[in-house]
Structure 1
Amino acid sequence: MEKKKAIFQLESKGRSLIFALSIVSIVAYLLLSFGHFGRIHNIAIEDFPLIFLMVIGGIPITFQIIIKMFKGDLGADALAVIAIITAAYLGSYLACSLIIFMLASGQVLENYALARASAVLRLLAQRMPSKAHLKQGSDIVDIEVSHINIGDVLVLYPHEICPVDSIVIEGHGGMDESYLTGEPYLVTKAPGVMALSGAINGESMLLLHAQRRPQDSRYAKIMKVMEESEQHRPHLRRLGDQLGALFAPFALIIAAATWYLSGDPLRFLSVLVIATPCPLLIAIPITLISAISLAAKTGIIIKDPLVLERLPTCRTAIFDKTGTLTYGQASLVDIFTFEGFDRDEILQLTASLERYSKHPLAKAILTAAEASNLSLFEATVVSEKPGHGLTGQIQNHKVHITHRKKLLQTHPQHANVLPHLKPGMECIILIDDQMAAVMQFRDTLRAEGHSFISHLKPIHHFEKVMVVSGDRPEEVEYLAKQLDIKETYSSQTPEQKLALVRAETVKAPTLFMGDGINDAPALTAATVGLAVGQHETVTAEAAGAVILENTLSKVDALLHISTCMRRIALQSALGGMLLSGLGMAFAAAGFIGPVAGALLQEVIDVLAILNALRLTWKTTLPIHIKNT
């Protein structure tokens, strides 16, 4: 990899020198043309700078292209070799020099465009801190960020950038995560809240507990985009090569036919000059890297650039349920109270006890109490024995939180008074050993879920939307009904998910989205696999792209980015070929000479590159989904 990079850099420097030399030589030719300096060995004095350029610049470029041709890379550059040789043979030194200038400038423009398109990624690397403040007892020691270990206690001063994904353990303030998430406001930080690497701290000092190593943190994953994209040869670039391979013989046939019919070799040269080099070979990779950069800025890691080409062609969307279409967290949806008990009082007492518990449902109860603006009481004699539930003494009441199975084992007489078991989860509340309430929970649908699903067909042209989940049938059907999804598959094992995705991919290109280890096989089998969130490394490795923010709005953003990229790439490639074709026609008719043709092709190349850079300049994407 390093050897390839060194060779690329050397070639780039060589082309830059040839580009500079071609400018100097052409300017010298124009200046000398105003005088009458005579000839040496039948060669005009003003032609010598051009001949010097042909030897110093033309020969190396010609050999580079010939080597590529012998390796099977036959494209529009092959036309350049023929054009250079023809121009030199016919004594059209200025046309030959302009072709050399055009090839060298095309490389320089491409390097500039690639650098411009990759600016976001370079900026990410440059802004990451190199030092961190490690707290050791009462001392604070500066260490290299690379030396941070999980569990280290770090001090983050005001306005500093968070070095690793951490949990706040002391301090209150706000952090700017807009560079990572796109959200244009400060995110409140307090003990227990996650602080993302790359986020900018506000006015307060925070004490952090490192949760990941620097190389595993979110910021590091974004910075890996460039390296990963360089290691993949994207399909769109291969498509550009194929189009170039088709265009080159077409141009040669037109040029040869022009020479045969007109008998004028200068027309042959003019046609080749306008056809060389084809802008699609420059524009398509620039468009691709622009899209990767925009995705990284949006909070999306493109692991395989093929994702950007394939996404707009997908016609079947297959979603996992938990953590993808839902938040993957329980929410309190109903409280069934028994006679003599008040709903808010039950919730207040239960939440007062649950704040001492680590049970998955505790957070849902506390969230519900907070939403109802209920103050919490102090609890005493708190006990949580495995399998027995949670008990405690609150406001002179004995509160016991348990589950149906345990209750019926110890108090079978309550079987007739319990409400029917509903889909989801539940807990039963006893106060002073009396049945007080049954709380029911569900995994909550994402706020933007209905809007996202409903616009997949009209906006992104998906023809089928499916839910494939390992969850129970009643849970999957409940979700599908809310989202108006007709086709569902529940209680699916990873093997069954894999088989189903393979079967659907045979029928039409598929998009599969999931966030768990059990989704990994299906992610690899789909035409495009998207991993949501950072919960499972296995899932992220299997997916072609990773949506870092656990939100469907980022998935929508990726769909729009891929659509824009494909449209702009085709516009640049086909538009450049069309303009070149028109120019070739005028050259074949004798209206454009070799020199004018070289200048015209340079304009076409610049237009194609500017069009390819449009994604880099894009700051907003169409918004079609909303929270409900």
Structure 2
Amino acid sequence: MKTPTSDVIAALGAKEVVIAVMAVAAIGIHLVLRFGVAATGAVFGLPAQEIPLLVALACGVPLVVDLATHMVRGEFSSDLLAGISIVTSVVLGEYLAGTLVVLMLSGGQALEAFAVRRASFALEALAKRLPALAHRKTDGDVADVPLAEIAVGDALVVFPHETCPVDGVVLEGRSTMNESYLTGEPYLLPKATGSAVLSGAVNGDGALTIRAEKTAVDSRYAKIMQVMRESEQRRPRLRRLGDQLGAVYTPLAIALAVLAWAFSGDASRFLAVLVVATPCPLLIAIPVAIIGSISLAARRGVIIKDPAVLELIDTCRVAIFDKTGTLTYGQPKLTEILPAHGFTKDETLGAVASLERYSRHPLASAMIDAAAEAKLPLQEAGEVSERPGEGLRGVIGGRTIQVTSRKKLALQSPTAAEPLPPLSGGLECVVLIDGRYAATFRFRDEPRAEGMSFVRHLKPQHGFDRVLLVSGDRETEVRYLAEKVGVTEVYSSQSPEQKLALVRQETSRANTVFMGDGINDAPALTAATVGIAFGQGSDVTAEAAGVVILDSSLERVDELLHIGRRMRSIALQSAVGGMGLSLIGMLIAAAGYLPPVAGAISQEVIDVLAVLNAMRAAVTPRTLSDYQTRPPAG
């Protein structure tokens, strides 16, 4: 039986976890035997306290073999020099130092394996979100059946707050469904007889009977899973900062050690150079800077799930935004009231808001909020009804109020639709008072207040070359938002497959940041160099992204960019500075003036200096976000 713990171990990499645990245990036993026992004796001529370390080093043999394989292929990194350091420590009898390197190497590889498995976790979360069973209705009886047994034409019951199992059409019932994670539309959509429903959408308070239009494997949710799986399989491997530095440092250190041995004829110089060259500034200082920055980000409400994000985000040059919930609040607002002749804005808004208190329509709260903001008193309503196809109807102050759509009004009373204003982007509803057209209400998902300042801040302050807006929403809505926030490159009506293709195309040219909040964004989040998920609305999105912004704030994204830049700067200072000091020590050792023991001590001093500098990454600087206080560029 699988447990959460076993899942985590499998994700981390069983071999690396076992080796890391063995190394920790060996170090602990060594310290107890060395400092906690008066006399420990000897085994095979070795002090007893050294035996656990030798066992741990033996467990590290597979790691060394893997690194040797990489060297044969011509792949040089900081890990390779760590492997040589392990072998050198055994030759020198520095077993504790070798065991520490084994621990760092295995622990780092385990964490990297965990990061690689992120997309798989997202797939698992995606699969868990869809129900395993559907409620099939046959001759009035309802029975639970596996999704695989659902056929096109089956009648299925979707109970309140359940996830819709397949794509279909409503046969009976009325409710609302949250499709925002699938379509990018920010609203709860009303569902009645004849309405289309999507697999993966979450039902509201009413039960629905639907007719399956597609099988489970052909439905929208399954298609997103398929795209997500493809995105995981084709995700490119990104070079980490330590690997980039190690690719230069490792062959240089090996070459210097070999030359010292060749010219002097003294093998101890080879060992001395390698001891000084042990890449602790790469193996320790960079992770310390990353861990400190992860802690700093967490205190700011930014959860770093993939440590590589902090190394890469400052190198990103293309910012790609989803619309709903990222650059917008994801909540419709009443933006315009167009009253007909003989009616006023306050008159129609007060009447409609009084009636909408009795409705569960997704736009009801927007009208009630607008009335409260205008300080309009709400009246009691009578004879309230909300029948399918008729809209909301009721009596307010002796007058009959009806709230409906342009399309429904045209069907009910073609003459009443004639004076309506022309169509525009966004959502709208039509208001009739005593059968006369009274007003048109228009709604928008408004951009975040800081949106324009943030977008304009990206290029001059963070070095982004391009900013793109990509959405599954309609072109009029997307372009309306783009104009509001100052984005010129716009892609509308994008499916998850199209978003993925676009992100993959952009990432092939330059490192990218993708920001989104819905399940339909998950494949793109995985494919981008850095994926940033907004809020906690979807576990699938959170798993697919490398970063989760808990309070859905653009200011937090700006702080993340600052933290990433600062981390990279501190990590480079620590690593390059430490490597520079090590290089000086290697030259002295190569000249014969620094024996192995003194070299090891010198390396420890260098390590301490590098780590102390790296620890600055955890300290909160005076400012992390300044885009709101600066005038926008241009």
User: TM-score w.r.t. structure 2 length?
Assistant: 0.66
Match of 2:620 in 1: 618
Q: Closer, same or farther in 2 for the Cα pair 1:22/1:619, shift >3 Å?
A: farther
1:404 aligns with: 406
**1:69 and 2:64 matched:** yes
Distance in 2 of aligned mates of 1:492 and 1:248: 46
Measured after TM superposition, the shift of residue 288 of structure 1 is 3.3
In the TM superposition, what is the alpha-carbon distance from 1:109 to its structure 2 partner? 10
Q: Give the conservation status (yes or no) of the 8 Å contact 1:273–1:594.
A: yes
Given that 1:66 and 1:78 are in contact with CA atoms closer than 8 Å, whether structure 2 keeps it comes out as no
CA distance in 2, matches of 1:532, 1:420: 35
Report deviation, 1:235: 7.2
SS at match of 1:272: helix
Q: Secondary structure at the match of 2:363?
A: helix
Deviations 1:118-175 (A, max 9, x none): xxxxxxxxxxxxxxxxxxxxxxxxxxxxxxxx99xxxxxxxxxxxxxxxxxxxxxxxx
Q: Equivalent residues in 2 for 1:496-515 (5 A)?
A: 496-515=498-517
SS of alignment partner, residue 312 of structure 2 = helix
* 1:81 to partner: Cα distance: 5.5
Q: Which residue of 466, 474, 477 maps to 2:476? A: 474
Pair 387,581 (structure 1): closer, same or farther in 2 beyond 3 Å: same
How far is 1:402 from its partner? Answer: 2.1
Give yes or no for contact 1:346–1:436 (8 Å, CA) kept in 2.
Answer: yes
Name the SS of the counterpart of 1:613 in structure 2.
Answer: helix
Question: Any idea what SS the aligned residue of 2:392 has?
Answer: strand
In structure 2, do the counterparts of structure 1 residues 538 and 276 end up closer, same or farther at CA, with 3 Å as the change threshold?
closer
Shift of residue 499, structure 1, vs aligned partner: 2.9
1:596 and 1:575 map into 2 onto residues whose CA distance is 20
What residue number does 1:165 align with? Answer: none
In the TM superposition, residue 538 of structure 1 has moved relative to its aligned partner by: 4.1
Contact 1:106 1:605 in 2 (8 A): no
Matches within 5 A, 1:536-551: 536-551=538-553
- Counterparts of 1:76-155 in structure 2, within 5 Å, are 76-78=81-83, 80=85, 84=89, 99=94
Cα distance in 2 for partners of 1:558, 1:517 equals 22
Corresponding residue SS for 2:375 = coil
* Cα pair 1:15 1:107 within 8 Å, conserved: no
Farther-moved stretch of structure 1 (315-324 vs 453-462):
315-324
Which one is further off, 577-586 or 10-19? 10-19
Distance 2:89 2:617 in 1: 34
Question: Which position in structure 2 is the counterpart of 1:14?
Answer: 26
Call closer, same or farther: CA 1:51–1:607 in 2, change over 3 Å. Answer: farther
User: What amino acid sits opposite 2:479 in the alignment?
Assistant: E
Report the counterpart of residue 519 of structure 1 in structure 2. Answer: 521
Task: Give 1:457 shift.
Answer: 1.0
Q: What displacement does 1:261 show?
A: 4.4
Aligned to 2:394: 392
| Larger Cα-atom Rg | 1
Equivalent of 1:565, from 564, 567, 576?
A: 567
Partner Cα separation in structure 2 for residue 517 and residue 58 of structure 1: 48
Contact 1:319 1:468 in 2 (8 A): yes
CA distance in 2, matches of 1:542, 1:346: 46
Counterpart Cα distance in 2 of 1:341 and 1:434 = 10
Pairwise CA distance, 1:354: 0.9
Q: 1:66 to 1:568 in 2, by over 3 A?
A: same
Give the 3-state SS of the residue equivalent to 2:27 in structure 1.
helix
Q: In the alignment, is the contact (CA less than 8 A) between 1:274 and 1:601 conserved in 2?
A: yes
User: Any conservation in 2 of the 1:23–1:101 contact (CA below 8 Å)?
Assistant: no
Map Cα deviations across residues 587-624 of structure 1 (whole Å, 9 max, x no partner): 33455444433222111112222333333333776113
- What is residue 346 of structure 2 aligned with on the other side? 344
2:27 partner amino acid: R
Q: Distance in 2 between matches of 1:541 and 1:377?
A: 47
Q: What one-letter code is carried by the residue in structure 2 that aligns with 1:323?
A: G
Unaligned runs of 5+ in 1: 29-49, 88-95, 114-149, 152-233
**Residues 563 and 23 of structure 1, relative CA distance in 2, 3 Å threshold:** farther
SS, match of residue 443 in structure 1: strand
Distance 1:17 1:72, change over 3 A: same
Counterpart amino acid of 1:490?
S
The one-letter code of the counterpart of 2:81 is A
Match of 2:419 in 1: 417
Could you tell me which residue of structure 1 aligns to residue 256 of structure 2?
Answer: 254
Q: In the alignment, residue 417 of structure 1 is paired with which amino acid?
A: P
Question: Cα deviation per residue 1:398-447 (whole Å; 9 max; x = unaligned)?
Answer: 22222222333334334443222222122222233333322211111112
1:309 to 306, 311, 318: 311
TM-score, normalized by length of structure 1? 0.66
Taking a change above 3 Å as real, the CA distance of residues 266 and 111 of structure 1, as seen in their structure-2 partners, is closer
Q: Secondary structure at the match of 1:385?
A: coil
Rounded Cα–Cα distance in structure 2 between residues aligned with 1:276 and 1:22? 25
**CA drift at 1:104:** 6.2
Cα-to-partner distance string for 1:372-402 (whole Å, 9 max, x where unaligned): 2223222222111122122222223322222
Q: Answer yes or no: is the 8 Å Cα contact 1:295–1:561 preserved in 2.
A: yes
Cα separation, 1, equivalents of 2:248 and 2:532: 34
Contact kept, 8 Å, 1:237 with 1:281, in 2: the verdict is no
Does the CA-based 8 Å contact 1:317-1:511 persist in structure 2?
Answer: yes
Distance in 2 (CA, whole Å) between partners of 1:283 and 1:236 is: 20
Q: How far has the Cα of 1:306 moved from its partner?
A: 3.6
Query: 1:61 and 1:496 mapped to 2: Cα distance?
Result: 50
Deviates more, 1:13-22 or 1:378-387: 13-22
* Contact persistence 2:337–2:439 (CA under 8 A): yes
Judge conservation of contact 2:89–2:97 (CA < 8 Å) in 1: no
Larger mean Cα displacement after TM superposition, 599-608 or 538-547: 538-547
Distance in 1 (alpha carbons) for counterparts of 2:528 and 2:386: 45
| CA drift at 1:362 | 0.8
Q: Distance in 1 between matches of 2:91 and 2:330?
A: 68
1:236 CA drift (Å)? 8.2
> CA offset at residue 244 of structure 1?
4.8
Label 1:109 to 1:65 Cα distance change in 2 as closer, same or farther (>3 A).
closer
The question of whether the paired residues in 1 share the 8 Å contact of 2:319 and 2:513 is answered with yes
Tell me, what secondary structure is at the counterpart of 1:360? coil
1:327–1:443 contact (8 Å) kept in structure 2? yes
Write the distance in 2 (CA, Å) between the matches of 1:23 and 1:111: 26
SS at match of 2:280: coil
Residue 137 of structure 2 is matched in structure 1 by: none
Partner secondary structure for residue 308 of structure 1:
helix
* Mapped contact 2:85–2:278 kept (Cα < 8 A): yes
Amino acid at match of 2:65: F
Moved more, 409-418 or 443-452: 409-418
Give the aligned CA root-mean-square deviation in angstroms.
4.1
What number of residue pairs does the alignment pair up?
482
Closer, same or farther: CA 603–260 of 1 in aligned 2, 3 Å: same
CA gap of 1:367–1:481, structure 2 versus 1, over 3 A, is same
Whether the aligned pair in 2 keeps the contact of 1:235 and 1:306 (CA below 8 Å) is no
Aligned to 1:161: none
1:356 paired residue among 355, 358, 375: 358
Q: Which runs of 5+ in 2 are unaligned?
A: 1-8, 40-44, 72-79, 109-159, 162-235
2:546 and 2:620 mapped to 1: Cα distance?
A: 23
Partner of 1:320: 322
3-state DSSP class of the match of 1:466?
strand
CA deviation profile, 1:38-81 (whole Å, cap 9, x unmatched): xxxxxxxxxxxx98489657755765665642342673345545
The separation in 1 between residues aligned to 2:413 and 2:455, in whole angstroms, is: 45
Counterpart residue number, 2:42:
none
**1:463 Cα shift?**
0.8
**Cα distance, 1:12 vs structure 2:** 1.0
Q: Distance in 2 between matches of 1:78 and 1:496?
A: 44
- 1:16–1:108 contact (8 Å) kept in structure 2: no
Which of 560, 580, 583 matches 2:582? 580
Q: What SS is found at the alignment partner of 1:374? A: coil
Compared CA separation, residues 570 and 345, structure 1 to 2 (3 A): same
- Checking the alignment, whether the CA contact within 8 Å between 2:289 and 2:615 is kept in structure 1 is yes
